[in-house]
Chains A and B, each alone.
Chain A
Amino acid sequence: MYSFILLSAGKGLRFGRDIPKQYLLLAGKPMIVHTLERADRIDRVKEIIVVCEKEFISLIKSYVDDYRICKKIVFVEGGKTRQESVYNALREASFDNVIVQEAARPLVTVSDFNKLIQCPHLNVSYTYQIPYTVLKKNSNNNISGVLERNELVNIQLPQKFSKDDLLYAHDQALKEGKTFTEDASMVYSYCETPVFCLQGTPYNVKITEYVDLLYGEMLLKEEFVKESN
């Protein structure tokens, strides 16, 4: 059984709106609701832990009522960093396994979540190949190194982890004062259990800027996103 950690504490500053992007409308409904509704339909998810700023709890509660989300919802206040937000949620998780997802990825389907759950490995991240060349540059703005594209992957959420592994990784990172931008790299750094790379999808777009919202709305009309929901 799984606790579903839904990260929604981001401020979305790049979006340049008065409210964080996860509360903006995507295809007519708030972006976060797309993921809440899908999490609500995953049998093995037994609770949804929403990590958000205190001021948005009542808004999300109204979404839960309006959209008839039936699963148990736990609210956890966001931390100063993404890492702290995940840590806060982990300490509230009631189940041995957790799924980590962010509200800014509203196109992940129920079928994608179920594939992640069914993957036999304990710690798993969706990843996607990098379709372009990535080089290093130095502080003088000169190319300073070549990265081997075949050895690189683009990390996509959702991810699933053993709660114990992820908690251990967070505890260690806290002790060492290290900050990570996502959780697969933490588990890789501190735990013996490997993080398996599950093939992601090209439609799992992270809504970061206004153009992504337009693109996301277009993708939501496509049958391959609808049918697997």
Chain B
Amino acid sequence: MATCIITGASAGIGRAAAIEVSKLEEFDNIVLISRREDLLIQTKSMMRDSCNIETVVLDVGEIDKIPTVISGIYKNYGSIDCLLNIAGYTDPKFLFETTDDNLRKTFGVNVFAPYVLCRECAKYMKGNNGTSKIINIASTAGSTARPGWSVYAMSKAAIIEMSLTLTEELSSYGIKVYCLSPGRCATELRKKLAPEEDQSKIMQPETVGKEIARMASASEICLDGQNIVIRKKF
């Protein structure tokens, strides 16, 4: 009974990934995590209904709650096989306007939460005999510079390095760690970063969702341990 956990599943890339992952035969249980229950239920209604879908309302920035949630999922389903770290946050500001709270919240959701999720899930994944995957969603912002995005860019750079390091640490357990960095993608988060942009002209979340599902599928075994960029060229 394979189980996949998806954070940030209420909208954007997380929702698109949830829909695409539900089309795979690999997973019997999919656990959707987000702060917003009404939107999680909407996501659930868009997914293939032949797999068991559970919604968990959680602000992943509250990292002290994560171990209990993950152990609860393990107790319910008997294994954790795939983790999609997609939840993200940004409040882009110039250096002088960036508050301590902004720093803490961005790093809480974008760095500390994925790290703690990796740690807690890997404790269970290591007993799976080499079939588990962790897919972390970074961003091209993590490897390029743009004024006003410093905190977000720092947090995504952290995810890239976290993914590369965990690839090495967890390889002895057969746990594959992926890092996918989307470029401009039509999400709510992107609207905060680039409100002037015409979202109909840029990459859509469904494109990224399909790529995430491909990485999560059992047939993909070669793209882990690298920062994979996905972007639409104009």
Contact = CB atoms under 8 A, between A and B. Distances in A.
Contacts of B173: 229
Interface residues of B, number: 10
B172 A68 contact: no
Contact of A229 (B123, B124, B172): B172
Contacts of A220: 172
Interface string A195-229: 00000000000000000000000001100001001
B124 A28 contact: no
A40 to B, nearest CB: 9
B171 interface: yes
Interface string B149-186: 00000000000000000001101111000000000000
B214 interface: no
Main secondary structure of the interface of B (DSSP, over half): helix
B35 interface: no
Main secondary structure of the interface of A (DSSP, over half): loop
A135 interface: no
A133 B123 CA distance: 46
Nearest to A66: B123
Contacts of B126: 37, 68
A27 B124 contact: no
B176 to A, nearest CB: 12
A226 B124 contact: no
Contacts of A37: 126
Contacts of B124: 68
Contacts of B127: 41
Contacts of B174: 226, 229
Interface of B: 123-124, 126-127, 168-169, 171-174
21 contacts: A27-B168, A27-B169, A27-B172, A28-B168, A28-B169, A29-B169, A37-B126, A41-B127, A67-B123, A68-B123, A68-B124, A68-B126, A220-B172, A221-B168, A221-B171, A226-B171, A226-B172, A226-B174, A229-B172, A229-B173, A229-B174
Interface of A: 27-29, 37, 41, 67-68, 220-221, 226, 229
The 9 closest A-B pairs by CB, nearest first: A68-B123, A28-B169, A226-B172, A229-B172, A226-B171, A220-B172, A68-B126, A27-B172, A68-B124
